[in-house]
Chains A and B, each alone.
Chain A
Amino acid sequence: MKFSIVIHGAPWSSNASHSALRYAEAVLECGHEIVRLFFYQDGASNGSSLCVPPQDEINIPEQWQVLINKHGIDAVVCAASALKRGILDEAEADRYEKNAHNLLPGFAVSGLGQLIDAAGQSDRVVSFVQ
């Protein structure tokens, strides 16, 4: 079955992101396909390369990155959500003349149309809202 997963929660503000991460792992372990991960609203913060949790806590953005790169998953952060939360890739940092960029490799910045596109290709869209 084809799944798309929508992550609405920031990494540690609620269980939404961690639950979505574990769900995504389970989807793949069960032999299903992930069409796209869509990080929306506070979920865009999962794309930050600058999170430094205590050593005895899971680094949720890093775990997302590992999963995305290991399986070559299409992962999109909503552009409007990401920009206003200070999650920028190099191109956006240049465009808005910011002095740094912090989007984890493997994530792409794009629009809400990518969610609708993913939903069109998926049997199930599963949302993790805080």
Chain B
Amino acid sequence: MSQSKSPRSYLIIARSSPYGSQQARAALDIALAAAAFEQAVSIVFMDAGVLQLLKNQQADAAGIKNISKVITALELYEVNSIMVHQEAVDKYDLDPSQFVLAVDVVTSEDIKTLIAGADQVMVL
């Protein structure tokens, strides 16, 4: 890898359902890659993306990889900040205790501030 101005701050906005497309996995892979290169990474799950966080996903039954295993790797890769949008939690009638890892619940206003403060924002 060539020299770059680093580390920079990344905000990944994961808003895709876990198995409806490749986008959910793509967002996580970008987050993990950025963290592996020692960038400051935050991820916020919003819209259908909150469903990625649920415990007891039975993806193996459909012959596909369980995305929640990748999500638990976020902590190992030192992704600094893992957040979920309050509106999405409410919309899907979820409770953070149902999630595979501890997340900070954030408001739309918080997300605005996060976007404004990040060097790079990627929405998937």
Binding-face segment, B22-30, B61-69, B76-84, B89-97: B22-30
Closest to B21 in A: A130
Cα distance A125–B11 when bound, in Å? 12
**Chain A hits for B23, CB < 8 A:** 8, 41, 129
Number of A-B contacts (CB under 8 A): 52
B10 sits at the interface (CB 8 A) = yes
CB distance from B98 to the nearest CB of A (A): 27
A120 B8 Cβ-Cβ under 8 A: yes
B26 A115 Cβ-Cβ under 8 A: no
Cα distance A6–B39 when bound, in Å? 18
Residues of chain B from 27 to 51 with CB closer than 8 A to chain A in the complex: 29-30, 33-34, 36-37, 39
CB distance from A68 to the nearest CB of B (A): 18
A40 B26 Cβ-Cβ under 8 A: yes
Known: A41-B22, A129-B124. A112 touches B4 (CB 8 A): no
A119 B8 Cβ-Cβ under 8 A: yes
B5 sits at the interface (CB 8 A) = yes
CB distance from A15 to the nearest CB of B (A): 16
A112 B30 Cβ-Cβ under 8 A: yes
- Name the one of A8, A42, A117 contacting B4, with C-beta atoms under 8 angstroms: A117
Known: A112-B33, A115-B33, A127-B123. A120 touches B4 (CB 8 A): yes
Residues of B within 8 A of A (CB): 1-2, 4-6, 8, 10, 22-23, 26, 29-30, 33-34, 36-37, 39, 119-120, 122-124
